[in-house]
Structure 1
Amino acid sequence: MSYDATITKISADGSKLLYSTYYGGEKNDMITGITLNNGGFILQLKTDSDDLYVSENAYQKHENKQNNSYIAIFSDPSFMTTTPVIGNTGKEVLLNATLKESMGNRFLTNKTVKFYIGDKYIGSAKTDSNGVASLYYEVAEKGGEYVYKAVFEGDLGHEAIESINKLTIPQSELYVSLLSNKSNTKVGDYIKITYTITNYGPDTAENVIYTYKIPDGLKYVDSKVDVGKVTYDSLTRTITWIIGSVNIDDKFKLDLSMKATASDRYRLTPNLTTDTYDESASNLPNRYLTVKNQTNTNQIDSNIDKYSYYSSNSYMGGFQNSGSGSGYGNAMKVAGNPIALLILCLFTVFVGQIKRR
């Protein structure tokens, strides 16, 4: 008859059997001492067995034949899992790590788990009754993919462990193009500026909002969009266009109609925001509209219209108007002396008759 050592683990309050096994070889094995160790426990026993199992990395692979004593170090591997996380720059994300032990595969509660992004420590959390450590983190990284890591450093009875996963931060590239329906804008002109919003990706731009404050010297007339909702606040002179999501290669348009009321150089570039990380949206190139004063040509134009009947094809007293460039002056000379011309003709005829006598 032979007997083996028995290793049993129960809950802290003694109410549950968590783990139990035999440990020994062909012959007699008897435990003489046990103590907790970082990552497991140390077992001291006497044995007569030559085939007692030891792991490949054991410090002592055979018992001491002099006193049949044996020391065994048992490790209790820990298990930890994490999940991929997606979050936007400047917004909070929830990082979770679930921690279990191997013996009984139960959750480890009230254990400290540290979190890292790359090598940067960002905080720690305690595991709850389900072995879950949760950390809220405000994303400070730019768009792209990052490695985040959860680390349990181990304690008496439990080995250290870490779990690695991905933190993905979406990134978009918004661009605004402007097109005016009028060139050489002057005071009093009505103009329409068409704004086109495009996203070059690689990810969808979320919660995109366009705002533009109309400067003094330009008067708001109307605005129309092909997607979303646009409003105008007359007190702040601000247009707000709530676009929403803009997928890759989307092209959304806003037509803004205004009247130029003063000459100046006006900035037309709007403010564009999105929840998605986007360097281009916050660095839009400046676009301007130049408004000039009207030239003082109204009186000249009205005079030309008044005397337009003196054209290059009209005749007066046998003289043809020489054209639009000088016709106005010539026409006035001819039209202003008809009696003098008639007297001159009669005088020439009379003189000619005297000479022939």
Structure 2
Amino acid sequence: MSLFVLAIIGFSSNIAFAHDPFPPEIKFVSPIDGSDATNNVKIKVSIRTHTAINGEGVKFDISGPNNYKKTLKGEKSSDTTWECYWDTSSAPNGKYSIKAEAQDDDYPQGPGVKVININLNNVKKETKILINDVKALQGTNVNVIATLKDGFNKIITNKKIEFTINGKTYSATTDSSGVAKITLKGVKGTYTVNAKFLGDNSYMSSSNSGKLYVTNNVYSLKVSNIDSDKNKIVQLKTTLTYKNKKVANKKIKFYVNNVVVGTAKTNKYGIAVLKYRTKLNHGKYTVLAKYSDNVVNIGVLKVKKANVYLQITSNKARPKVGNTITIFYRVKNDGPDTASNTKLTYKIPSNLKYVKAVGSGSKKYNSKSKTFTWTISKAKIGTTLLKLTFKTKKSGRALLTPKITTDTYNKYSSGKKLYITIV
């Protein structure tokens, strides 16, 4: 049985197989050819295809002064656009070429290619490191943290921080909250913690110091890590102990992404819980719990992200009235995370009669409203397939586009409608 690729949702309302195959036609949205660029450069292209970009996606090859070379992979951000970010902090100033390349599933002769040239002109920004004094219990794991910000108090992510403690040097990378963390085994004593950012082509160097007090007589906090979808309510949770005994009725202040989000009291088990709605975009953020000035600890709030979109194919190109046809709905998830509660809702048009559905997940058909609903509790990275079988009732165009939603932060968006013609 041959399959006909209709389109990835939103590419076109025309049936793709009606045209001769052609390589992807690529146009740069940003940066503009011949323009100046600085710091974290957004690279975005729009692409017209015959059917769909193959599994390799869109590749960006960047080359410049001093034999600089870097390859980045684009993420699908809408029906026709792909994008990525180029961190230029390790790239010398000068002229660069950016080549975008993509292959169409139905055009094996060669990829579509587009090249632009830009001028990189970074000016270094001031930075500062914030570091807390920390008290910790001997023999337990101690988190030592530092926060990197620029001169305008904005957090700086994905930068290496060096910590020097008692003659030993450790390193960590700042997360989505600008926080770098190292974990040590607490040995009794008082230590000076030196934190340093060496700087790069985008940012100046900076340093700061704090104190680490490790004793047998101190309060201790343990903070739980959390995975969440955007706009979901989660529980920030920490446990307060003193000499390994739970401590009740103490106020704990919680911070997320360096912002105070509330306080909670410990219960008889030493546990403090605060409800928090995750309004942050995809990334790993620091959750900090604080009791008194120096009793602090951190956990990680991971806000998940998926790249979910829909591809539709049919077993018949132009079905006749009275035919039985099968429409294949493929939910594609390019990751990086599993998508929670992904739902496809399809209002079946009057010229199609629902017959059956085959596929994983929850499938429901409402005969009164003529609506079919498909729910995937966890759409894993890759493809999830649904087969819908219909009987064609009358000639004309039949809308195939369903509504697709997911609880997980999804950068991809679709909008255009797709039809099949019954003759």
How high is the TM-score relative to the length of structure 2?
0.44
1:81 corresponds, among 222, 237, 241, to 222
Alpha-carbon offset, residue 133 of structure 1: 1.2
Partner AA of 2:333 in structure 1: N
Partner AA of 2:277 in structure 1: E
Alpha-carbon offset, residue 195 of structure 1: 1.2
**Structure 1: distance between partners of 2:330 and 2:324:** 20
Determine the structure 1 residue equivalent to 2:387. 254
**Structure 2: distance between partners of 1:226 and 1:109:** 51
Alpha-carbon offset, residue 237 of structure 1: 1.0
1:198 aligned onto 2:332: yes
**Structure 1: distance between partners of 2:263 and 2:295:** 15
1:94 aligned onto 2:235: yes
What SS does structure 2 have at the residue aligned with 1:175? strand
Determine the structure 1 residue equivalent to 2:297. 163
Partner AA of 2:414 in structure 1: L
Alpha-carbon offset, residue 258 of structure 1: 4.0
**Structure 1: distance between partners of 2:219 and 2:332:** 49
Structure-to-structure mapping, 1:332-351, within 5 angstroms: none
- What RMSD in Å do the two structures reach over aligned CA positions? 3.1
Matched-pair contact (CA < 8 Å) for 1:86–1:167? yes
Partner AA of 1:144 in structure 2: G
**Structure 1: distance between partners of 2:259 and 2:349:** 46
**Structure 1: distance between partners of 2:416 and 2:191:** 69
Question: When you count helix as a share of all residues, which structure comes out higher?
Answer: 1
Cα pair distance change 1:231/1:106, threshold 3 Å:
closer
**Structure 1: distance between partners of 2:229 and 2:191:** 47
Matched-pair contact (CA < 8 Å) for 1:221–1:259? no
2:400 corresponds, among 241, 244, 268, to 268
1:278 aligned onto 2:278: no
What SS does structure 2 have at the residue aligned with 1:109? coil
Structure-to-structure mapping, 1:132-281, within 5 angstroms: 132-152=271-291, 154=292, 160-184=294-318, 191-216=325-350, 218-261=351-394, 263-264=396-397, 266-280=398-412
Determine the structure 1 residue equivalent to 2:251. 112
Determine the structure 1 residue equivalent to 2:419. 289
Rg: which structure is higher?
1
**Structure 2: distance between partners of 1:185 and 1:252:** 22
Alpha-carbon offset, residue 56 of structure 1: 10
**Structure 2: distance between partners of 1:124 and 1:131:** 14
Matched-pair contact (CA < 8 Å) for 1:95–1:136? yes
Aligned pair count reads: 212
**Structure 2: distance between partners of 1:284 and 1:255:** 21
Q: Deviations over 1:266-315 (max 9, x none)?
A: 432212233333233xx2353421547x6xxxxxxxxxxxxxxxxxxxxx
Alpha-carbon offset, residue 107 of structure 1: 3.6
Cα pair distance change 1:254/1:120, threshold 3 Å:
farther
Partner AA of 2:267 in structure 1: D
Cα pair distance change 1:120/1:220, threshold 3 Å:
farther
Cα pair distance change 1:188/1:225, threshold 3 Å:
closer
**Structure 2: distance between partners of 1:203 and 1:246:** 9
Structure with the larger RCO, 1 or 2 (CA within 8 Å, 6+ apart): 2
Partner AA of 1:128 in structure 2: N
Question: When you count strand as a share of all residues, which structure comes out higher?
Answer: 2
Q: Deviations over 1:38-62 (max 9, x none)?
A: xxxxxxxxxxxxxxxxx999xxxxx
Alpha-carbon offset, residue 132 of structure 1: 1.8
**Structure 2: distance between partners of 1:200 and 1:115:** 33
Alpha-carbon offset, residue 136 of structure 1: 1.8
Higher mean alpha-carbon deviation, 222-231 vs 113-122, is at 222-231
What SS does structure 1 have at the residue aligned with 2:306? coil
**Structure 2: distance between partners of 1:290 and 1:272:** 19
Cα pair distance change 1:289/1:258, threshold 3 Å:
farther
What SS does structure 2 have at the residue aligned with 1:252? strand
* Structure 1 gap segments, 5+ residues each: 1-54, 58-74, 295-357
Alpha-carbon offset, residue 91 of structure 1: 2.4
Cα pair distance change 1:286/1:186, threshold 3 Å:
farther
What SS does structure 2 have at the residue aligned with 1:151? strand
